[in-house]
Amino acid sequence: MAQHILIADDDAAIRTVVSQAMMRAGFEVRATSNIATLWRWVTSGEGDLIVTDVLMPDGNIFDSMAKMRNSRPDLPIVVMSAQNTFMTAVKAAEKGAYDYVPKPFDLNDLVGIVRRALAEPKNDLKRQGQDDGGETMPLVGRSPAMQDIYRTLARMMQTDLTVTITGESGTGKELVARALHDYGRRKKGPFVAINMAAIPRELIESELFGHEKGAFTGAQSRSTGRFEQAEGGTLFLDEIGDMPMEAQTRLLRVLQQGEYTTVGGRTPIASDVRIVAATNKDLRQLISRGLFREDLFYRLNVVPLRLPPLRERLEDLPDLAQHFFAAAAKEGLPRKSFTSGALEALRHYSWPGNVRELENLVRRLCALYPQDEITTELVESELANDANQFGLDADHGDGPVDLTQATERYLSDYFASFANDLPPPGLHARILKEVEYPLIAAALAATRGNQVKAADLLGLNRNTLRKKIRDLDISIVRSIR
Ligand SMILES: Nc1ncnc2c1ncn2[C@@H]1O[C@H](COP(=O)(O)OP(=O)(O)OP(=O)(O)O)[C@@H](O)[C@H]1O
Ligand SMILES: [Mg+2]
């Protein structure tokens, strides 16, 4: 017997095309323009699956979904909506929708989703809570690229799967990690973040796993690690590409065995932590350079989430700009907006700093200029400053960056990341090491791993080079080029 699809949408055209597509796929259909009728069908046991719009004349489907799910837990609900914001995707997942399709959608995709839902074992249709959190939208943007992100996020929120977020600097990796936690099933637990790039390498293991008294020089008392602090919640491993090898090995063990030991400790401690990792580096490249464990990569990359750079979703500029203008106004700065010409100028910029750069630009414009309307000229002169700062100056567009300037910029960010504190001691050695590593690796690559030639090229004694290779843990690849 053919399976029955219940369709609800107040738009007659959509009811028709969806009905036809379902019939072509071999289903029987019933369609309605309101929730009351749908509810009547549900309670009288009709239908094998619902395809429904969100806003209908007699209400919002999200307000009825809990009772529908209660009355017919086995009835999958597929939500389609033109309100394609982050919150719609989240709501749909929270209310227990099987899936969510933003309008306009491809009918074949919809049929595929329906088939998949009907084929799924019934007890896999998870029961969801009916939590009505605050309505402030953490993620702004409705571009197709962001729609994909929202759908993946909404699905991931109902699981504890490990997610690795990649994307250029300023694309919102940390924001997404927080959203995964705040709207996920661990939201009542802690969200703990640790930035691998901001902690001296030799302290990372102890930061992550804690240490026992006397585990190393300076360990004067027992201390808890981030894993312990994040128990029952989410641990956000930021800049995971900067994690030292030994710490990677330890992390891998936790992911494999669900337990860890503190530095200097012996008793295994069970861990119940959801891991979300982020990086703006290419982990595969790090693997091939011997800097990242491949097995760890596969453990972390269970669900890869790539955040698109802003230049790939310029249609989000107006929404984002408005969001940041509103945020500035909330902080007491005068409320402003862009002229349409100014918005157009924003579209012609490459946004190397992504959303963060836009946020800073808006903030600066609000603080610096008295005009209510930000014109094309103002935007262009401010963007010229940004381009300079990112080394995008027209004169030396793709040329090599000035190392001194790059270092200055790096250090000023680095110091800023400690706010009023000073970074941990040993800065000179740490920075020189960071410069030395790529220098020696490049010399080795250029000489195809020939240490005699590399030593010559660098002007170093051969034994000194060998020692540095060992100390810096550089793996020598002889076949480069
Ligand atoms: N989709 C978005 N909607 C609203 N704000 C956003 C969005 N994406 C990013 N932002 C804002 O842009 C800024 C940068 O985001 P975030 O810190 O998450 O980026 P990141 O990818 O972690 O960058 P980095 O690699 O430099 O650490 C933050 O202030 C964040 O709130
Ligand atoms: Mg970040």
What is the per-residue pLDDT across 203-259, written as a single tens digit (0 to 9) for each? 899 999 999 988 887 778 888 999 999 999 999 999 999 999 989 999 999 999 999
Task: Please name which ligand lies nearest the alpha carbon of 326.
Answer: 1
Residue 402 domain-assigned (yes or no):
no
* pLDDT in the model for residue 410: 78
Distance 310 CA to ligand 1 centre (A): 11
**8, 9, 63, 117, 310 from 38: Cα distances, Å:** 7, 10, 13, 19, 41
Residues 266 and 189 reside in one and the same domain: yes
Average pLDDT of the chain, as a whole number: 87
297: nearest Cα among 245, 260, 252: 252
Q: How confident is the model at residue 50 (pLDDT cuts 50, 70, 90)?
A: very high
* pLDDT in the model for residue 392: 58
Q: Is the dihedral of CA 202, 203, 205, 210 positive or negative?
A: positive
Query: Greater confidence, 141 or 430?
Result: 141
Residues 107-138 have pLDDT tens digits of 999 999 999 999 877 654 443 333 333 345 68
Query: Greater confidence, 386 or 140?
Result: 140
Residues 188-209, mean pLDDT to the nearest whole number: 92
Distance 117 CA to ligand 2 centre (A): 36
For a ligand 1 pocket test, name from 182, 320, 355, 390 the mutation site with the most ligand atoms within 8 angstroms of its C-beta: 355
The last residue of one of the domains, among 139, 173, 194, is 139
CA distance 128 to 223: 38
Residues 14-32 have pLDDT tens digits of 999 999 999 999 999 999 9
190: nearest Cα among 273, 261, 271, 260: 273
CA distance 299 to 278: 14
Q: Is the CB of 355 under 6 A from ligand 1?
A: yes
CATH number of the domain within which 13 lies: 3.40.50.2300
Q: Is the CB of 241 under 6 A from ligand 1?
A: no
Q: Is the CB of 309 under 6 A from ligand 1?
A: no
Q: Give the start-end residues of each E strand in 274-388.
A: 274-279, 303-306, 337-338, 373-374
For residue 238, list its beta bridge partners: 195
Residues 23 and 98 reside in one and the same domain: yes
**pLDDT for 423 beyond 80:** no
Whether the Cβ atoms of residue 36 and residue 12 lie closer than 8 Å to each other: no
For a ligand 1 pocket test, name from 139, 356, 410 the mutation site with the most ligand atoms within 8 angstroms of its C-beta: 356
Q: Which of 45-49, 147-151, 343-347 has the lowest mean pLDDT?
A: 147-151
380: nearest Cα among 339, 349, 337: 349
* pLDDT in the model for residue 314: 95
Residue 154 domain-assigned (yes or no):
no
Q: Which of 33-42, 104-113, 171-180, 436-445 has the lowest mean pLDDT?
A: 436-445
Residues 186 and 297 reside in one and the same domain: yes
Residues 134-144, mean pLDDT to the nearest whole number: 74
Residue 369 domain-assigned (yes or no):
yes
**pLDDT for 418 beyond 80:** no
**pLDDT for 384 beyond 50:** yes
Q: Is the CB of 141 under 6 A from ligand 1?
A: yes
Q: Is the CB of 281 under 6 A from ligand 1?
A: no
Query: Greater confidence, 238 or 421?
Result: 238
Distance 408 CA to ligand 2 centre (A): 20
Most confident of 303-317, 366-380, 412-426: 303-317
CATH number of the domain within which 378 lies: 1.10.8.60
Residues 167 and 302 reside in one and the same domain: yes
Q: Which residues contact 195 (CB under 8 A, 6 or more apart)?
A: 238, 239, 417
Residues 269 and 359 reside in one and the same domain: no
Residue 79 domain-assigned (yes or no):
yes
**pLDDT for 349 beyond 80:** yes
Residue 416 domain-assigned (yes or no):
yes
Q: Which residues contact 385 (CB under 8 A, 6 or more apart)?
A: none
CATH number of the domain within which 285 lies: 3.40.50.300
* pLDDT in the model for residue 102: 87
Residues 348 and 421 reside in one and the same domain: no
Q: Burial of 428 by CB count in 10 Å (0-12 exposed, 13-18 middle, 19+ buried)?
A: exposed
**pLDDT for 400 beyond 70:** no
* pLDDT in the model for residue 398: 46
Q: How confident is the model at residue 397 (pLDDT cuts 50, 70, 90)?
A: very low
Q: How many domains, the chain?
A: 4
pTM, rounded to two decimals? 0.67
* pLDDT in the model for residue 427: 83
Residues 265-270, mean pLDDT to the nearest whole number: 91
Q: Is the CB of 76 under 6 A from ligand 1?
A: no
Q: Is the CB of 310 under 6 A from ligand 1?
A: no
The letter for the amino acid at 88 is T
For residue 275, list its beta bridge partners: 235
Find the domain containing 441 and state its range: 408-471
What percent of the chain stands above pLDDT 70?
A: 92
Residues 171 and 238 reside in one and the same domain: yes
Residue 261 domain-assigned (yes or no):
yes
CA distance 203 to 400: 33
457: nearest Cα among 429, 194, 465: 465
CA distance 43 to 167: 46
**pLDDT for 46 beyond 90:** yes
User: How do 55-56 and 59-60 pair as beta strands?
Assistant: antiparallel
Residues 281-294 have pLDDT tens digits of 999 988 888 889 99
Residues 417 and 465 reside in one and the same domain: yes
Task: Please name which ligand lies nearest the alpha carbon of 361.
Answer: 1
Q: Is the CB of 169 under 6 A from ligand 1?
A: yes
* pLDDT in the model for residue 61: 94
68: nearest Cα among 107, 112, 125, 132: 125
Residues 35 and 123 reside in one and the same domain: yes
